[in-house]
Amino acid sequence: DTAVSQTPKYLVTQMGNDKSIKCEQNLGHDTMYWYKQDSKKFLKIMFSYNNKELIINETVPNRFSPKSPDKAHLNLHINSLELGDSAVYFCASSQGSDNSDTQYFGPGTRLTVL
């Protein structure tokens, strides 16, 4: 059973297109996240949701919009894709209870914008 799953695993698209990445967790966690990892493996948090409510929105262009239909899902929609959006995007989840929380990561979605 996959704890945190993402689809698709690979996404190749043209500049200017709109695309979505889906994420689901079956761990019963209250908190979900989106991270962006660049080509040098630097990991940057983008968003965090707790019980379907946005609690962190780092400096991210407003072309990126997260949507949480329920506690188990956090989707990422990206409008007007740009070359600089090419990266690996990771969804993660955690209990959201205290600072000994462990993050559980999905397998990643490699986005390539041409």
Note the residues at the interface with other proteins (CB under 8 A).
Answer: 4, 31, 33, 40-43, 45, 48, 56, 90, 92, 94-108
End-to-end CA distance of the chain: give it in Å, rounded: 34
Q: Give whichever of 14 and 41 is closer to other proteins, judged by the CB atom.
A: 41
Cβ at position 66, least distance to other proteins in Å: 15
Specify the 3-state DSSP secondary structure of 80.
coil
Give the nearest distance from C-beta 79 to other proteins in angstroms.
25
Position 26: which residue type? N
Strands 64-70 and 43-50: unpaired
Q: How far is the CB of 70 from other proteins (least distance, A)?
A: 20
User: Measured from the CB atom, is 64 or 104 closer to other proteins?
Assistant: 104
Indicate the residue among 17 and 87 with the shorter CB distance to other proteins: 87
Q: Which residue in this structure is represented by tokens 């948090």?
A: 45
Closest separation between CB of residue 16 and other proteins, Å? 28
CA distances from 27 to 17, 36, 52, 82, 104 (A): 33, 22, 15, 33, 9
